[in-house]
Amino acid sequence: MANIRSRSGLLWKKWGRECMFFATGFGFLLIVLLPSLNSWKKESDMIPKHFPGTSPGDLVDLTLLQSSKVKGAVCLDGSAPGYHLQRGFGSGSNYWIVHIEGGGWCNTLESCSLRKNTALGSSTFMEKQVPFSGFLSSNQSQNPDFFSWNKVRIRYCDGASLSGELEDEVQGYGLFFRGQRIWRAIMDELLLKGLANAQKALLSGCSAGGLATFIHCDDFRALLPKGVTVKCLADGGFFLDEKDVSGKRSIKSFYHEVVSMQGVSKNLRKDCVSRVQPSQCFFPQEFITGIETPIFIVNSAYDWWQIQNILAPDDADPHNDWLKCKQDIYNCNLDQLKVLHEYRSSMLDALEPFQHSKNGGMFINSCYAHCQTWKDKTWHSPESPRLNNKSFYSKVN
């Protein structure tokens, strides 16, 4: 625990029972974002179930892109994709946030078939209204810089971070892998609805949506006219290529299956796939320094989802030695705490090349958390995680 990097900010922060360790983050910000600006089958664990602190005025209707079916831009089950749009007003009328929700991935035809019977694979099961909170909130006291912006939440229904693309339906399963087409169809729709006239635009995402933000950041900028201030914010999407506690690379194998089955490779960065196998380019650490659009990373070095599903997945812990530790980090023994600290060190190592990017900034804390920008409590409140007395809200702005 004492091995803290000299260039890192250091602060003991206890946030409920979730910030147990030294909170550590890189004490710099190279960009200012928009001033005034089985364990693997638990996809549902990665999508927010509730939004604390929201009010009835934050409920936003679902819009389905029925016309997108002609383009083949459909969810896993062939239904129309959807999004929620809350119109901006006043000074925010020409400013936009486009947010991609999270929800994991599916790596086999069987797991994708199960997924297509949920909101993560079919618009048939999507809520007709969802509340917007955190940096999507319209409450000025909770979100003083972005409350009046146009805000979009893209529903996630493809299981491959909006990047898969197979031409044909998978016969016998009724599956469609069309995430890339969904991305383009929704962008085309939003451009017609005013995004093309934006003065400022921010692409963001949580978890698997955070990974999608890394993947689509430069494409998002390319879709908008020159002169628009375009930036990206990836929250909880920096998934590590690390061994699990049994010594296996479960996440590496899993990503390889996702990329191969869903035809993802053609939509990954060419400069990355030219030097490593395509599935490696599903890890942001492999391509982040090549992203040209300004991007800001919000992540925990002790991300609970990664600890539960990458570091200590159920298959790697047959005797449940890690069960109590994963449920509550206060129950971790000294050996387990050492492993967690090593995982944190691996994340800082993976992020180190990004420190030298002229287009990057980050807020890396050590809360036992996963996705922090969409919650009122962590986004902008007296209880928000802080590094050197700065919350990530103040860093993003």
Positions marked active-site: 207, 303, 370
Q: What is the 3-state secondary structure (H, E, C) of 25-83?
A: EECCECCCCCCCCCHHHCHHHHCCCCCCCCCHHHEEEEEECHHHHHHCCCCCCCCCCEE
Asked whether the beta carbons of 205 and 237 are under 8 A apart, the reply is: yes
Please report the sign of the dihedral spanned by the C-alpha atoms of residue 44, residue 209, residue 17, residue 342. Answer: positive
Tokens of 263: 């035809």
For 138-181, the DSSP string reads --TTT-TTTTTSEEEEE---SSSTT----SS-BTTTTB---HHH
Select from 347, 129, 102, 137 the least CA-distant residue to 209: 102
> Measured between alpha carbons, how far is 308 from 287 in angstroms, rounded to an integer?
25
> Measured between alpha carbons, how far is 324 from 317 in angstroms, rounded to an integer?
12
Buried b (16+ CB within 10 A) or exposed e, 118-136: bbbbbbeebeeebbbbbbb
> Measured between alpha carbons, how far is 344 from 24 in angstroms, rounded to an integer?
10
Using a 10 angstrom Cβ sphere, with 0-12 exposed, 13-18 middle and 19 or more buried, the burial of residue 20 is buried
> Measured between alpha carbons, how far is 259 from 369 in angstroms, rounded to an integer?
27
Select from 190, 215, 192 the least CA-distant residue to 205: 215
Exposure on the CB side of residue 206, measured as CA atoms within 13 A = 23
